[in-house]
Chain A
Amino acid sequence: MSRGLLDIESLTRQDVEAILTRAKDFQPAPRESFKRFDTLRGRTIVNLFFEASTRTRTSFEIAAKRLGADIVSITAAGSSVSKGESLVDTLNTLGAMRPDAIVMRHSASGAPHFLSRYLPIPIVNAGDGTHEHPTQALLDARTILDRLGTLDGLRIAIIGDIAHSRVARSNIFLLSKFGVQVVLCGPATLLPCEMEKIAPGVSLAYDMERAIRGVDVIMMLRVQLERQHEAAFPANEYFQFFGLRPEHVELAKPNVVVMHPGPINRGREISSEVADSQRSAILNQVENGIAVRMAVLERVLAA
């Protein structure tokens, strides 16, 4: 199988460390713009998004350009996908154009894994269904390292729709490799009990105060109403019981880092006061997205 980045689960701690260390080289100094490199000059990357995304797609585009690569972005609407072409045929067609890598987002869990068995081109998973979003977990880890200096031994709460979150899965797999105590919190219908067993160091809480007390990092998840095929929780009381408010932040460690993969729903899962506070690292996450994706693309295309 070609070397790509399909998920965090199959990476080793050393793999993750290598990417995070390299990403640091790509971070700009304060108040400076990103440096340009020509490491990937002459290489072509196809950014194939079967699902709407602004920030991830843009972030990959900028990362590729900063490394000197040519990148072509395709979104499902208006492409052959909407004309009924199968995923395999679409990818074979693109494969015949001989790109050096494909960055792919798809609404079906495992779509990149399935394709990687048939395509010799490396695939970078930019989010597959409710499975994983590996570069998000990497940029989250880079952001925590920037603020707290280490991942080892931290206690981190992840709060929200865990069941349907690819961000949660990738973060759980990554953090667990560093011995982080991960506390998952959300309404019981969005927090399957099997989650406790998917990686070492994971525990569950159905109560915000219990989840947050003494943590180093609070990761909020977007409440994905668009993924809710049924009423799995009473939406009108969600914020009251699982929305992050200033009084919760007080329960955490004094230098707690508040994170959110965005786009945020103010007043649904996070209050504006918290989102805009000093504790919030939300914009650092976005910024780190580029550095981390540069490190990933470089690693995948290094040959």
Chain B
Amino acid sequence: MSRLVIKNGRVIDPATDLDRVCDIGIEDAVIREIGVDLSATGSEVFDATESIVAPGFIDMHVHLREPGFEHAETIESGSRAAAAGGFTSICCMPNTQPVNDSPTVTSYIVDRARRSALVNVFPIGAITKNSAGEELAAIASMKQAGIVAISDDGKPVMNARVARRAMEYAAALDLPFIEHCEDLHLSGDGDMHEGLQSTRLGLRGIPRSSEDVMVARDLILADLTRVRYHVAHISSRNSVQMVAFAKQRGLRVTSEATPHHFAISDCEIRPYDSNYKMKPPLREHSDVEGVVQGLADGAIDAIATDHAPHAGAEKMREFERCPFGIIGLETAIGLALERLYRPGKITLPHLIRLFTANPARILSLDRGTLRVGAPADVTVFDLDREWTYDVNRSLSKSRNTPFQNHQFKGGPVAAIVAGQIVWRVDN
């Protein structure tokens, strides 16, 4: 029987409306008690004085690259980076090699995670076979094997008829349908957001309408099928408004935003540096404002990193030839504090909700709260520690980040998974 007491932190659990300085007693991987001056006799003690103690953070959108692209990331290395970013649960997208479109691949991931991962790993299954957008994948069997949602992330389901069928099927299974919203014809061969900056730099543009058109189509189909529909990495101000409108209409619609989409705009791109290349692309200042507003007013439910590792050589090329995506697990909390909490856009409990209770609700996970009896996943972070991100010391296997040498104020202090301290900050 192992016991851990987290002492004297400011405990914030939005799911139970808790916000006070107290202790948390953990026993056998479950939260046993919350209170002041809990006895620590015979227990390991974690001193959380001056820190925030929150439910374990959940990143509902990461790419772990295993199986198939282990040179860029593995379930183990990705889970270490997650822990170092303060996450205790991550959901991995199915665009591996082979694609996670069958219970065999799902079971492989679940098994690998059980053996090697530092944090909880929840697989997301493909919507269509090989994510090719044509035939439905073995969704129900994958659900039995452990997937928590379906998505063809990296690609949209371009065929509306296929999307409709998948939504109907998912609705009956009560699985969320997560869409990478992009009309591929409108995106063309685009490399960055279409606007003044792409025109200036002579780079092909990905218009905002590419995202908006797909969000609009999907909202209509979600209304038809009554599926639990979720927009991945929302980036366009118009799409945020459409999601808000759909919510008002009572649709079962949710959305997530990445830290980079609420933190930087296309004006801040270092020209032709592929560490600023991702899909959807960094958009204009007004879109960044729209995303921040959506996070504040509830149109956007969750912060997810879209952690997308690529090995060095793949990103060291001509901009138009580099793959899309950046890593993001280790900088998410720092950016959220810097761009959302400190400027007063979002309160601390709300910020925590975006990382915990909301993603847990979207994915029907029995986590994201510090309620007595819940799994003992805890994230400890602080608001004041000054630190500089050095990607060369990242626990990810990849180095593709635009936030190298970024100076943060506040960030993760420890990640506790099932009552075990799996990561804590040095010094």
Which A positions have Cβ atoms within 8 angstroms of B?
9, 86-88, 106, 108-111, 113-114, 128-132, 163, 166, 169, 192, 194-195, 197-198, 229-230
Chain B contributes a number of interface residues (CB within 8 A of A) equal to 21
Chain B residue contacts of A88, Cβ below 8 A: 316-317
A-B pairs with beta carbons under 8 Å apart, 20 shown: A86-B317, A87-B318, A88-B317, A108-B320, A108-B321, A109-B319, A109-B320, A110-B318, A110-B319, A111-B272, A114-B273, A114-B318, A130-B204, A131-B201, A163-B199, A194-B195, A194-B196, A197-B196, A198-B199, A229-B188
Query: Which of the residues B196, B204, B273, B318 comes within 8 Å of A198, measured between beta carbons?
Result: B196
Chain B 267-284 interface 0/1 with A at a Cβ cutoff of 8 Å (1 = within): 000011100000000000
Q: Measured between alpha carbons, how far is A111 from B318 in the docked complex, in Å?
A: 5
Instruction: Tell me the interface secondary structure of chain B in the complex.
Output: loop
Q: Measured between alpha carbons, how far is A194 from B316 in the docked complex, in Å?
A: 29
Most A Cβ at <10 Å: residue of B201, B203, B316: B201
In chain B, positions 290-339 with a C-beta closer than 8 Å to chain A are 313, 316-321
Closest B residue to A169 using CB positions:
B202
Q: Measured between alpha carbons, how far is A195 from B198 in the docked complex, in Å?
A: 10
Q: Measured between alpha carbons, how far is A132 from B202 in the docked complex, in Å?
A: 8
Chain B residue contacts of A230, Cβ below 8 A: 188
Does B115 sit within 8 A of A, measured CB to CB?
no
Contact B189 A229 (CB under 8 A): yes
CB contact under 8 A between A87 and B272, given known A198-B196, A198-B199: no
Query: Which of the residues A87, A110, A163 comes within 8 Å of B201, measured between beta carbons?
Result: A110
Contact A128 B202 (CB under 8 A): yes
Q: Measured between alpha carbons, how far is A110 from B189 in the docked complex, in Å?
A: 16
CB contact under 8 A between A192 and B272, given known A86-B316, A109-B320, A229-B188: no
Chain B residue contacts of A229, Cβ below 8 A: 188-189
CB contact under 8 A between A87 and B319, given known A109-B203, A131-B202, A169-B202: no
Closest A residue to B274 using CB positions:
A114
Chain B residue contacts of A128, Cβ below 8 A: 202
Contact B271 A113 (CB under 8 A): yes
Chain B residue contacts of A109, Cβ below 8 A: 201-203, 272, 319-320
In chain B, positions 246-275 with a C-beta closer than 8 Å to chain A are 271-273
Does B200 sit within 8 A of A, measured CB to CB?
yes
Chain B residue contacts of A114, Cβ below 8 A: 272-273, 318-319
Contact A129 B320 (CB under 8 A): yes
Given A108-B320, A169-B200, output 5 extra A-B contacts at Cβ < 8 Å. Answer: A109-B203, A113-B271, A128-B202, A132-B202, A163-B199
Q: Report the 8 A-B pairs with minimum CB-CB distance, sorted nearest first.
A: A110-B272, A131-B202, A108-B318, A109-B202, A130-B202, A194-B199, A194-B196, A114-B272
Query: Which of the residues B202, B318, B321 comes within 8 Å of A166, measured between beta carbons?
Result: B202
In chain B, positions 147-206 with a C-beta closer than 8 Å to chain A are 188-189, 195-196, 198-204
Distance in Å from the Cβ of A232 to the closest Cβ of chain B?
11
Chain A residue contacts of B316, Cβ below 8 A: 86, 88
Closest B residue to A164 using CB positions:
B202
Chain B residue contacts of A110, Cβ below 8 A: 201-203, 271-272, 318-319
Chain B residue contacts of A163, Cβ below 8 A: 199
Distance in Å from the Cβ of A160 to the closest Cβ of chain B?
15
Which B positions have Cβ atoms within 8 angstroms of A?
188-189, 195-196, 198-204, 271-273, 313, 316-321
Contact B188 A129 (CB under 8 A): no
Chain A residue contacts of B202, Cβ below 8 A: 109-110, 128-132, 166, 169
Q: Measured between alpha carbons, how far is A111 from B272 in the docked complex, in Å?
A: 8
Distance in Å from the Cβ of A145 to the closest Cβ of chain B?
26
Closest A residue to B191 using CB positions:
A109
Q: Measured between alpha carbons, how far is A114 from B198 in the docked complex, in Å?
A: 16
Contact A192 B313 (CB under 8 A): no
Contact B319 A86 (CB under 8 A): no
CB contact under 8 A between A86 and B313, given known A108-B318, A110-B272, A113-B272: yes
Q: Measured between alpha carbons, how far is A124 from B188 in the docked complex, in Å?
A: 30
Query: Which of the residues A132, A166, A195 comes within 8 Å of B199, measured between beta carbons?
Result: A195
Chain A residue contacts of B317, Cβ below 8 A: 86-88
Q: Measured between alpha carbons, how far is A114 from B188 in the docked complex, in Å?
A: 23
Chain A residue contacts of B195, Cβ below 8 A: 194
Q: Measured between alpha carbons, how far is A86 from B188 in the docked complex, in Å?
A: 24
Q: Measured between alpha carbons, how far is A192 from B271 in the docked complex, in Å?
A: 20
Chain B residue contacts of A169, Cβ below 8 A: 200, 202
Distance in Å from the Cβ of B312 to the closest Cβ of chain A?
10
Q: Measured between alpha carbons, how far is A299 from B130 in the docked complex, in Å?
A: 55
Distance in Å from the Cβ of A113 to the closest Cβ of chain B?
5
Most B Cβ at <10 Å: residue of A88, A108, A163: A108
Chain A residue contacts of B189, Cβ below 8 A: 229
Distance in Å from the Cβ of B158 to the closest Cβ of chain A?
17
Q: Measured between alpha carbons, how far is A16 from B317 in the docked complex, in Å?
A: 30
Chain B residue contacts of A166, Cβ below 8 A: 202
Chain B residue contacts of A9, Cβ below 8 A: 200
Closest A residue to B318 using CB positions:
A108
Chain B residue contacts of A129, Cβ below 8 A: 202-203, 320
Distance in Å from the Cβ of B269 to the closest Cβ of chain A?
11
Q: Measured between alpha carbons, how far is A108 from B319 in the docked complex, in Å?
A: 7
Distance in Å from the Cβ of B413 to the closest Cβ of chain A?
35
Q: Measured between alpha carbons, how far is A128 from B318 in the docked complex, in Å?
A: 11
Q: Measured between alpha carbons, how far is A225 from B408 in the docked complex, in Å?
A: 49
Distance in Å from the Cβ of A234 to the closest Cβ of chain B?
19
Closest B residue to A106 using CB positions:
B318
Q: Measured between alpha carbons, how far is A166 from B318 in the docked complex, in Å?
A: 17
Distance in Å from the Cβ of A177 to the closest Cβ of chain B?
15
Closest A residue to B321 using CB positions:
A108
Chain B residue contacts of A195, Cβ below 8 A: 199
Q: Measured between alpha carbons, how far is A42 from B321 in the docked complex, in Å?
A: 37
Chain A residue contacts of B321, Cβ below 8 A: 108
Chain B residue contacts of A86, Cβ below 8 A: 313, 316-317
Distance in Å from the Cβ of B206 to the closest Cβ of chain A?
13
Chain B residue contacts of A131, Cβ below 8 A: 201-203
Q: Measured between alpha carbons, how far is A80 from B196 in the docked complex, in Å?
A: 36
Chain A residue contacts of B203, Cβ below 8 A: 109-110, 129-131
Most B Cβ at <10 Å: residue of A9, A110, A197: A110
Chain A residue contacts of B318, Cβ below 8 A: 87, 106, 108, 110-111, 114
Closest B residue to A165 using CB positions:
B202
Distance in Å from the Cβ of A238 to the closest Cβ of chain B?
21
Chain A residue contacts of B198, Cβ below 8 A: 194
Q: Measured between alpha carbons, how far is A198 from B188 in the docked complex, in Å?
A: 23
Closest B residue to A117 using CB positions:
B273
Distance in Å from the Cβ of B59 to the closest Cβ of chain A?
31
Q: Measured between alpha carbons, how far is A130 from B190 in the docked complex, in Å?
A: 13
